[in-house]
Amino acid sequence: MAKKAAVPAKPQSDDSSKQLVDAIITVKNLQEFIRDHGDVQKALDAVGRVHKLVELTGGFEPLNQALSIVGQEDKPAGPEY
């Protein structure tokens, strides 16, 4: 009986490589977000508050618009130095 030739391993597809890179970037960003907020629970609390704001305003676009308006109102009047 003849031995079957070994099938060469397929190189990773571009999609799976991109998914791996995206996952690594996401995890690094998540670690930074947690570090910025002090610990996991504080980070989760911040996410929960943002989620509620998104729901209350009807989505990210209306929330961004509201934040930009409030940001303009918070600027002091007069010339900037």
The amino acid occupying position 4 is K
pLDDT of residue 15: 84
pLDDT tens sequence across 27-76: 999 999 999 999 999 999 999 999 999 999 999 999 999 989 988 876 66
Q: Does residue 5 carry a pLDDT above 90?
A: no
Q: Is the pLDDT of residue 1 over 60?
A: no
Residue of 7 and 45 predicted with greater confidence? 45
Mean pLDDT of 5-26: 78
pTM of the model: 0.53
Q: What was the pLDDT predicted at 72?
A: 81
User: DSSP readout, the chain?
Assistant: -PPPPPPPPPPPPHHHHHHHHHHHHHHHHHHHHHHHHSSHHHHHHHHHHHHHHHHHHTSHHHHHHHHHHHHHHTSPSS---
